[in-house]
Amino acid sequence: MKMRHSKIKGKICMITAALVLGLTGCGENQIPDLTNAEIQAIGEYIAITMMKYDLNNKSRLMELSVLDIEESVLEENGETEDSAGMGPVDDTPVVNAPGVEAETENPVRQEEYSMEEVMGLPEGMTVAFQGQEVYDSYPEEGDFFSMSASEGKKLLVLRFSVSNGTAQDQEMDMLASDAAFHVTVNGEYTRRALTTMLLDDMTTFVGTIPAQGSVEAVLVVEMDQETASHISSLSLTVKNESKTYAMELLP
């Protein structure tokens, strides 16, 4: 602490000397005569100014005027006397912290949704995974529209059955749904299902499913040929603006 005070005093002396020299007149090179009272006043002004920017100075012998300056600087920096004090200790136990026990005993459970809810299907309709196949082009024949994989790629086609378990016909309109389908292969390769012109594309399917009937729908993903030849696991995530559903297709 003494060393710190000696450094401050040294700075004060240097600034005082510079200020005195700065008071030299424009046409003269003589240092003007100053009384002891004037020199003391200059020194006190410099001391208060330096204390203003030396917020770490905690001297209890500081004059009240200097304390006022330090407090105003803390307020300008958005700090308060409490925030400048001792912070919380990490290893200090907190007793009866409000809400801690309640969160431990009654954790908030994330609401779970079904695939049909996320897709926005009418009540009574269900979707079931039927299997997957890999193609160079799909469908291979017998359809007015087909798509081919890019060079070095394969088409992974996931097949689903959409059933209507009610006693009346149900409309399925995926164009009006904001659901998005993401397929993950081998736990790390994730792609969004393509939007195609296939009549049975589940992302764009629009049609009527008869009472107690079902239709087949597919999801198509383009992927690297090497990955497509070594599929060990498959999972599907369906999302809309507020809901998410995830399922394992191949564990």
Could you say which DSSP state residue 117 is in? H
CA distance 113 to 240: 11
Tokens 């999302």 map to which residue? 239
Q: Would the pLDDT of 81 be above 70?
A: no
192 DSSP β-pair partners: 182
At 206-249, the pLDDT tens digits run: 999 999 999 999 999 999 999 999 999 999 999 999 999 999 99
CA distance 220 to 194: 6
Residue type at position 61: L
pLDDT, residue 44, reads 65
Average pLDDT, the chain: 75
Label residues 142-157 b or e (16+ Cβ within 10 Å = b): eeeeeeebeeeebbbb
Please, is 51 exposed, middle or buried when counting C-beta atoms within 10 Å of its C-beta (0-12, 13-18, 19+)?
A: buried
Please give the model's pTM, rounded to 2 decimal places.
0.56
